[in-house]
């Protein structure tokens, strides 16, 4: 009698263990794919398409397969990332789609999983103040900065909506805070904010040569008080150089291609697309 009950207890335990292992394997390896496939079965809302059309200028010039690819990435982005309005700002669908649309341009031809680590987007109505306090044990120094956006390696992106709107209205300006901050997120993927996202060995070799030369050129021209075409902020460090170049790659591809063909080639290889193919035709 005792032997039979302990046997059935062992059987229940074994069965429970198998179910637990199967559930863990499903969650770790298949759940995300399953959830994304399910999400993409829902139709893309017409109002979101309207916001992409009016607020993400490149969307309207893309060929149909890439338009659909952008919509799918936006759909996943909106279902997975948390948006938070700061200082009383109300985050509506227009705000969400505009930010997601620009962010997903960066991974339009790349795996969506490049943004797996991005968890939240904080949106301020306008440029916001940041107070930094530093101490070396003897002296405490305090500084105030006004920022249009920032990205953290912990998966958070902060944006000022007024700057985003301005960027959406001026698709050929060298500034686009959304492209800039999400480029930093790609840079973080290999654990270092060093201006080089994860690359193949061959890409990395070409990247290092072309980017180092271009970075030094920008610093050199600033040092000699020449006004560069590229945002001078790119000269502060390689991570900013990559973010600034990403803005130029999507916003002014023809100019970048003409003036810095090797840099353009490196970016085209990484982003796996050529924005100069999608020129304004009207
Ligand atoms: Zn930056």
- Ligand 1 midpoint to CA 50 (Å): 29
Q: What does the alpha-carbon distance between residue 218 and residue 36 come to, in Å, rounded to a whole number?
A: 42
- Ligand 1 midpoint to CA 203 (Å): 23
Q: 180 with 147: CB under 8 angstroms?
A: no
- Residues in Cβ contact with 126 at an 8 Å cutoff, skipping those fewer than 6 apart: 160, 161, 162, 163
The CA-based angle 210-232-110, given to 5 degrees, is 50
Task: Show the domain range for 219.
Answer: 46-271
11 assigned to some structural domain: no
36 assigned to some structural domain: no
DSSP string, 162-198: HHHHHHHH-TTSS--HHHHHHHHHHHGGGT--SS--S
- Ligand 1 midpoint to CA 31 (Å): 34
Beta bridge partners of 131: 144
> According to the model, what pLDDT value does residue 1 have?
57
Residue 280 has pLDDT above 80, yes or no: no
- Ligand 1 midpoint to CA 151 (Å): 7
Helix (H, G, I), strand (E, B) or coil at 144: strand
* 218-to-150, 250, 268 alpha-carbon distances in Å: 23, 19, 20
- Ligand 1 midpoint to CA 24 (Å): 38
3 assigned to some structural domain: no
> According to the model, what pLDDT value does residue 87 have?
95
pLDDT digits (tens, 9 = 90+) for 8-64: 777 777 777 777 776 676 666 678 889 989 989 999 999 999 999 999 999 999 999
84 assigned to some structural domain: yes
- Ligand 1 midpoint to CA 65 (Å): 31
Q: What does the alpha-carbon distance between residue 31 and residue 142 come to, in Å, rounded to a whole number?
A: 46
Q: Mean of the pLDDT values across residues 180-201?
A: 95
242 assigned to some structural domain: yes
- Ligand 1 midpoint to CA 27 (Å): 35
- Ligand 1 midpoint to CA 255 (Å): 21
- Ligand 1 midpoint to CA 202 (Å): 26
Pairing of strands 149-151, 82-85: unpaired
Helix (H, G, I), strand (E, B) or coil at 223: helix
- Ligand 1 midpoint to CA 13 (Å): 53
- Ligand 1 midpoint to CA 179 (Å): 10
Residue 176 is encoded by which pair of tokens?
Answer: 């686009």
Query: How many domains is the chain built from?
Result: 1
CATH number at residue 114: 3.40.390.10
- Ligand 1 midpoint to CA 152 (Å): 10
- Ligand 1 midpoint to CA 85 (Å): 21
- Ligand 1 midpoint to CA 242 (Å): 9
238 assigned to some structural domain: yes
- Ligand 1 midpoint to CA 167 (Å): 15
27 assigned to some structural domain: no
Least confident of 65-74, 78-87, 134-143: 134-143
More confident residue, 174 or 168: 168
Q: 176 with 251: CB under 8 angstroms?
A: yes
Q: 87 with 49: CB under 8 angstroms?
A: no
Q: What does the alpha-carbon distance between residue 25 and residue 245 come to, in Å, rounded to a whole number?
A: 41
- Ligand 1 midpoint to CA 26 (Å): 38
Q: Mean of the pLDDT values across residues 248-265?
A: 95
| pLDDT band for position 266 (cuts 50, 70, 90) | very high
276 assigned to some structural domain: no
- Ligand 1 midpoint to CA 240 (Å): 5
> According to the model, what pLDDT value does residue 228 have?
82
- Ligand 1 midpoint to CA 89 (Å): 23
> According to the model, what pLDDT value does residue 282 have?
42
- Ligand 1 midpoint to CA 261 (Å): 23
Please state the pTM of the whole predicted model: 0.87
Helix (H, G, I), strand (E, B) or coil at 97: helix
């Amino acid at each position: 009698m005792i032997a039979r009950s302990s046997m059935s207890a062992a059987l229940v335990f074994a069965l429970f263990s198998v179910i637990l292992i199967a559930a863990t394997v499903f969650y770790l390896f298949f759940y995300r794919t399953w959830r994304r496939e399910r999400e993409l079965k829902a139709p893309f809302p017409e109002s979101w398409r309207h916001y992409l059309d009016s607020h993400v200028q490149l969307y309207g010039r893309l060929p149909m397969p890439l338009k659909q690819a952008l919509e799918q990435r936006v759909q996943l982005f909106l279902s997975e990332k948390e948006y938070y309005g700061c200082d009383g700002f109300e985050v509506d669908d227009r705000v969400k789609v505009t930010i997601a649309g620009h962010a997903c341009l960066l991974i339009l031809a790349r795996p969506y999983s490049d943004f797996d680590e991005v968890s939240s987007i904080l949106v301020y109505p306008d440029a916001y103040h940041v107070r930094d306090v530093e101490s070396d044990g003897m002296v405490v120094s305090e500084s105030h900065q006004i920022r249009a956006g920032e990205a953290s390696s912990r998966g958070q992106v902060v944006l000022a909506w007024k700057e985003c709107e301005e960027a959406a209205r001026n698709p050929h300006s060298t500034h686009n805070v959304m492209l800039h901050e999400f480029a930093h997120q790609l840079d973080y993927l290999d654990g270092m904010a060093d201006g080089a996202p994860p690359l193949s060995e061959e890409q990395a070799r070409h990247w290092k040569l072309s980017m180092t030369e271009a970075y030094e050129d920008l610093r050199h021209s600033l040092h000699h008080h020449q006004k560069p075409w590229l945002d001078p902020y790119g000269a502060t460090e390689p991570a900013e150089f990559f973010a600034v170049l990403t803005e130029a790659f999507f916003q002014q591809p023809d100019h970048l291609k003409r003036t810095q063909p090797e840099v353009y080639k490196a970016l085209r290889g990484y982003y796996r697309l050529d924005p100069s193919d999608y020129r304004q035709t009207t």
